[in-house]
Structure 1
Amino acid sequence: MTHPLRRPLMPLVLPALLLAACATATGEDTMAGHRLQGEGPFQRFIVRYRDGSVPARDRDSVPGRLARAAAQVRSSPAPVPRWQRRLAVGADVFTVDPPLDRRAAEALMQALARDPDVEYVEVDRMMGIGPQPTMPMRDGD
């Protein structure tokens, strides 16, 4: 027999478990399931290091790791990463100069993803829930 409080919670628990399973179903894909859309330019990125790793504990070690990953990108001119800030979720935002085309951005993200301390890397982009409605224009009232 189930506890009387468990029965009303079951319709809420199952969808939450399914959503959590979908969110973690990416396995070892450290590129956070985000494939680049469009040809670029791409200039801002987010990288999150695994909990307990040196860069997760010491943000001063992050710029060196970014520079090593950028050095692996075969692009002319070579991308120069600049660490910007650490987010509340523990991920780091960085930019690259010059902005990268799709091929170079993918190469940079793959170079970062090869670091065993990287949990995920993604392009920093504007997020939304869907198309934004357009406001109707008034006819000169």
Structure 2
Amino acid sequence: MSEVLRELVVALSLDGDNFSRNMRTINHQIKEAESTFRLAGAGIDKFEKSVKGTEAKLSMLGDKLAQQNRAVEQYSRALAAANQKLADSHARQEKMKASLTSARAEYEHLGQQVGAASDKYAEYARTLGE
């Protein structure tokens, strides 16, 4: 069981590194879009209220929306992968639980057989002598 948990933790951490890297890239691209908008309006009074300013802001917001959609997609994929790993781990745990129950029943049965054999031995030892 601990081996399965260890494998799950390693898999999630490896996936987490890739996920974190993708999220940093997306956040960097969002900052670039905002920076491009600020640079476009540098030195122009009331740039945000002009037509070019509005177009630049619309472009920046469109880029920002696209990057945020990518981030949502990344989160969605990570959640789906985590849910699948959880379901797999749960199935493995249930299988191991059933195996343990079966092994306990077999152990109990063998214990009864050993007890019966011990009783028979004691009976034969009394009747036949050792």
TM-score tier after normalising by the smaller chain length: under 0.3
Greater strand share, 1 or 2?
Answer: 1
Larger Rg computed on CA atoms: 2
Q: Which has the higher contact order (CA 8 A, sep 6+)?
A: 1
